[in-house]
Every structure is written in C-alpha cells, then in structure tokens.
A and B are shown apart, each in its own frame.
Chain A
C-alpha cells in the first residue's frame, strides 16, 4: 500500500495540483482567481506528460558512442516533452485571451466579481 503511494508520488502531486485547479475554476467568485485556477489545471496535465517520460539513469536522446542505440532503456523518450512545449504555448495563448477578455469585462462593468457581474448584466 505504501509502495502504491510512494512509487507514484509524482502522479499524486499531479492529482493534488489538478484538484487545486478544479477548485479554483469551480468555487472562486473572482474571475482572475478562476483564470489562475485554470492555469494550475493546465499545468498539472503538463507535469503529467513530463513525468511519464522521465527515467532514472537514462540520458538525453542524442546518440552517445558509449551507449549503443539498441539499449533504448538508456535513452529518454523526448516526444512527451516536445508535445508539452506546444501545450505550454497553447496555455500561454489561452491566458492571454482570458486576460484580454477580463480587461474588456472590467472596462464595461467596473468589476470582476461574478456575483456583481451577474447582477449588472440582468
């Protein structure tokens, strides 16, 4: 049982981070805090991808003359990390759009509190 927790501690960290993010998205009333929750949620998935490709005692995926190519266990899988470069860029772009929308909301209504906004829109 202890092994189940200790052996997967990176994944447990990701799960906790994901729950923090979801809590922020669902329960925070301030729209900026919601956006922060969204960013944490996205980062948790990025960390998941990073951790599935990590390996103890392996080296970067550049051909090393000391390690034959056949010993794939000694090389890292670079693909999940490169995928996450794209996903991080997507996340940054999403945050940019989110903050632009927040600026537009604030300029129109003068508040970023969800309750007050809903009252003003009605």
Chain B
C-alpha cells in the first residue's frame, strides 16, 4: 500500500520537517537540530526501502492528485533517481548529525532558521531528482537554490557577498533553463519528460530544439559548476560556515549533474542529443579541462576549504566526463563517482569543520606534526578520504576512476584516459602535502618526552559521522562489484 506513495513521501518528509522545525524551534531552540536529523533520517530510511522495492518490482510513478500525465504532475522513481535520492539523503543525514556543535559555535542562536533552511534545500534537491515534469523541476531548482543562498550567507564576514555572486549567476542559469523549457514547450506542447521524450525524435531538426538543448545544458551547467561556469563555487564554499559547506558541497553539484544525465540520457537520448547538437563532445572537453584546472588550482591553495572547493570543480568533471562517454562503463563509473565523491567530500569537509572547531582555522601552512597526536581519529579519517580521492585500491575512489578509465578505453578516447591519470597524480600532490606535514615530519617525536601535544579530539557527535563516512569508503570499495552491477542495470539503453 505504502509502496506506491514512496516517491512523494520522501520529498514530503522534508516539507513536514521544514514546518515542524520553526514551530518547535521557537519554543525550544535546541530541538531544531535533533528534528533535522530525524527528518533526514526518516527520508534516508524511506529512500533505502524505496530502492529495495525498486530492485524487486521496478520503477514507481506517482501521480499527484490522481491526475495522469501529461495533464498532471508526476514523480518518477526509477533507478537513476532512486540512486541519487539514496546517496544525497544518507550523506545529508550524517552531515546534519555533525552540525550540532558547529552550529552552536559558529552561529549561536540561529540554529532554528539554519536547520529549517537546510530542510528546504533538501526538499528542493529531492524534488529536482524525483520530479517527472520540466517546469516542476525549475520550481524545485529555485527552492533549493534560494535555500542554498541563505545557507551560504551564514558564515564568515565575506559570506553574504559570495552568496550574492552565486545568486546572480545561479538565477541567470535557472532563467536560461526556463527559457529552454519554454522552447521545448512551444515545439511539443507538453512538459512531462516521458511524454516529451516520445515526441522529440520527430522534431530533431527544429532549431528551437537545438536552442533549447543548449540553453538547458548551459543553465544547469552553472549549477553543476561545469568549467568554465564554476566561478561562484570556490568563494561560496570557502566563506560559508563549515556545516553549510559540508551540506551543500557533496550534494548541490551532484543534483545538477543528475539533471544533465536526465536531459541527455532520458529526455533526448544519446543519439538524438548528438544529432541535435554536439553537446556530449563539448561538455566532455570542458569536463576534461575542468578536471585539470581544478586540480592545478587546488595545488595552489593554502586554505583547506578553498583547496577542497577547487577539488570539487575537478571531481564534478569526472562525473560529466563519464556522461559524455555515453557508454555503460562511463555511465556506471560516473554514477559510482557520484556516490564516492559525495562520501569523500562530505568526510573531508567534516574534517575541515573539526579542525576549525578546535584550532579556529584550516590553514594548511599552519598544519604540523602535533595534529596526529591531538586529533588521531580526525586525521585518520582525513587520510582515508584523501587516499580515496587520489584513487588507491581498495578504497572507493579507485573503482570509479577505474570504470571511467575503462569507459574511455572502450571509446578509444586516449586524451580523456590521460586526463584521468594525470589528474590522479595532481590529486596526490595536494593531498599528500597535508599528510606529509601531519605524519611524516619528525617521526621520532612521539617517543621523546615532553611532547607538548595533548589529545584533544572533537566530541562524539562530530567524530561519529566523520569516521562512519571514512569507513563507508572501505565498504563501498569492497562492495563495488555489487554496486556497479546495479548501475549497469540502470543504464537506459
């Protein structure tokens, strides 16, 4: 009975908690964070259950108000949307557990609006993933964006300016997407994705369709921080508070990448996309440049959050590159990288949050060997996530790069293969310099007497999510064959 309502329930959980948090938060401000954790916890359990149901019985289509498409709006829970919903809700659950102490320290007294906004942002992300209607997608895009601007503006002194720049660029991108939807509507007369996908092949040569595809990809490319549309990302991630960054960084750009997947693979289909405009080639090249640019800029940074932000620009490139390969291996590699990168980036930003909590900064030049004594578990989690980012087996990061590399070989695209390999080396440069500062300097110091570093690890509510995400990287690494098997089945051709 409940199964057919699952797609709507996942999104509506966040609506419910976005209302509950202000109601209880005014009465008891301390109740906001537990409520947010409860909300995202319920949503992750529902997503897990829905994914298990999907594996047994197949896709679920939910018609709002019983109106069947193309008249009504529907939520589509298929393999792709189910996978993304599961990933983002689970990661958000762990990040929100971590936020309790960060929120109390970085913006005391503002927990209630913060967590209510977080719920709205998650509602927008879930809605964007689940909806089967192009205009509805625009509305959810704006809900998540407006909430994200608010979340980013909570932070250090220049944070509102970073959020304002993101608002200008992001809204312009959203408006371009809307214009693209308008072009498609004039041609097909429908907004439902499945309905429109059936009609589009007849209009492949129509110039409106070409313009619509380009406008939509550019508009969503802004949100996905696809090079060269990434300008808003480094400042936003650096100046926002640790908990906002940890919440938005692993999720926001992934969801935009999901829409690109939806447009290219499901709405147009790969063959039609290439017939309309050489989009997959162009975004593949942009992704390759973005991978190298992001890695090189990350090496040049001295602030850990800024370095991770540039690394995000590089990692989103892998996902878009997997999309541009348009073969099952590239598709599975890209989706596996969505999962891996969400877990790795969340873990790394939580580590940055832990260090900011205790040291008051996350400036790499001030890192030293006392950290391994002071924060043994935080630094251990950091090492695991960093090594996974570089891509050493048996950690998760290796396998997604492996499948992406196999995908490039399958297409005989040797330049992309070289880009993946070079970028892994560049990743090693910027992560190992931190590991070197923390673990390699003065190896004998621990045995000396009078080592001034006292053990000063962060509390359980911060350590637990950080280490769970780090352990998850091992689990994903060992279970990669099973996950990739599921992902191959999702591939739409």
Contact = CB atoms under 8 A, between A and B. Distances in A.
B161 A93 contact: no
A34 interface: yes
Looking at A38, A52, A90, A108, the one whose CB has the most chain B CB atoms below 10 A away is: A90
Given A101-B160, A117-B161, A121-B161, A25 B168 contact: yes
B21 to A, nearest CB: 19
A53 B197 CA distance: 22
A93 B168 contact: no
B178 A108 contact: no
A98 B185 CA distance: 29
B280 interface: no
Interface string B151-187: 0010001101101100110011001001100100110
Contact of A45 (B142, B157, B158, B179): B179
Contacts of B175: 41-42, 45
Interface in A67-122: 80, 83, 86-87, 90, 93-94, 97-98, 101-102, 104-105, 108-109, 117, 121
B182 A102 contact: no
A105 B158 CA distance: 8
A108 B171 contact: no
Looking at A31, A42, A80, A87, the one whose CB has the most chain B CB atoms below 10 A away is: A87
Given A42-B171, A94-B171, A97-B149, A87 B178 contact: yes
Contacts, number: 65
A110 B169 CA distance: 23
Contacts of A101: 149, 153, 160-161, 163-164, 167
A48 B182 contact: yes
A80 B185 contact: yes
Chain A interface mostly: helix
B167 A31 contact: no
B409 interface: no
A48 B179 contact: yes
Contacts of A102: 164
B474 interface: no
Contacts of A22: 172
A45 B146 contact: no
B27 to A, nearest CB: 25
B139 interface: yes
Interface of B: 135, 138-139, 142, 146, 149-150, 153, 157-158, 160-161, 163-164, 167-168, 171-172, 175, 178-179, 182, 185-186
Given A45-B179, A98-B168, 15 more contacts: A38-B171, A38-B172, A45-B182, A52-B182, A86-B135, A90-B142, A94-B167, A97-B149, A97-B167, A101-B153, A101-B160, A101-B161, A102-B164, A104-B153, A105-B164
29 contacts: A31-B164, A38-B172, A41-B172, A42-B171, A45-B175, A45-B179, A45-B182, A48-B179, A52-B185, A52-B186, A80-B185, A83-B135, A87-B138, A90-B138, A90-B139, A93-B146, A94-B146, A94-B167, A97-B146, A97-B150, A97-B167, A98-B167, A101-B153, A101-B164, A102-B164, A105-B164, A108-B157, A108-B160, A117-B161
Interface of A: 22, 25, 31, 34-35, 38, 41-42, 45, 48-49, 52, 80, 83, 86-87, 90, 93-94, 97-98, 101-102, 104-105, 108-109, 117, 121
In the A-B complex, list the 7 residue pairs whose CB atoms are closest, starting with the nearest.
Answer: A104-B160, A101-B164, A90-B142, A121-B158, A101-B160, A105-B160, A45-B179
